[in-house]
Amino acid sequence: MIVSTIAAQRRALVVVVLTLTIGGARFVTESWAAGAFAVGKCGAYGQAFDYAGEGAARAAALKQCKGDCTAVTMKRACAALSVDMTNPCGAHGYAVRPHISSSLNAATRECYKFGGKECVIRAWACDAKG
């Protein structure tokens, strides 16, 4: 009877440890789900993904972008930048969407909407969940 009680306690301990390990892994993955995309003139860009917080991701993206840049955050999403290939300093468009395909399409549409003639994707990024 003593052997079965000890064995049951060990099994219970193993179940608790496994539960905490799986739960902890999920928490770490979800907490590192902030990203940012910075867009500037003439096709300049910066990107940061899988950061712990939006502020840190935004700062990292802006640091990579050369010139006067604007940053947008992407949490569990993807961002894309499209520029006019005939004039990289002219029309451009960017978008943040839940999936990469929709962000690529939306960025290209935005570039054409602002007068682009031959819009192409210049850059894209997704965070952990995008």
* Torsion, CA 69, CA 110, CA 76, CA 64, rounded to 10: -20
Q: Please compute the mean of the pLDDT values over residues 100-113 and round it to a whole number.
A: 96
Domain chopping of the chain, boundaries: 1-31, 32-126
Banded model confidence at residue 113, pLDDT cuts 50, 70, 90 = very high
DSSP states along 87-103: -TTS-EEEEEESSHHHH
For residue 88, pLDDT beyond 80 = yes
For residue 27, pLDDT beyond 50 = no
Q: How high is the pLDDT of residue 30?
A: 46
Residue 24: burial class (beta carbons within 10 Å; 0-12, 13-18, 19+):
exposed
Tell me the backbone φ, ψ of residue 118, rounded to 5 degrees. -135, 75
What would the pLDDT profile of 34-75 be if each residue is shown by its tens digit?
889 999 989 999 998 888 888 999 999 999 999 899 999 888
Q: What is the pTM of this model?
A: 0.70
For residue 107, pLDDT beyond 90 = yes
More confident call, 28 vs 112: 112
Reduce the DSSP state of residue 62 to 3 states and report it: helix
Tell me the backbone φ, ψ of residue 42, rounded to 5 degrees. 60, 35
CA 25 centroid distance within chain: 19
Banded model confidence at residue 22, pLDDT cuts 50, 70, 90 = low
More confident call, 14 vs 116: 116
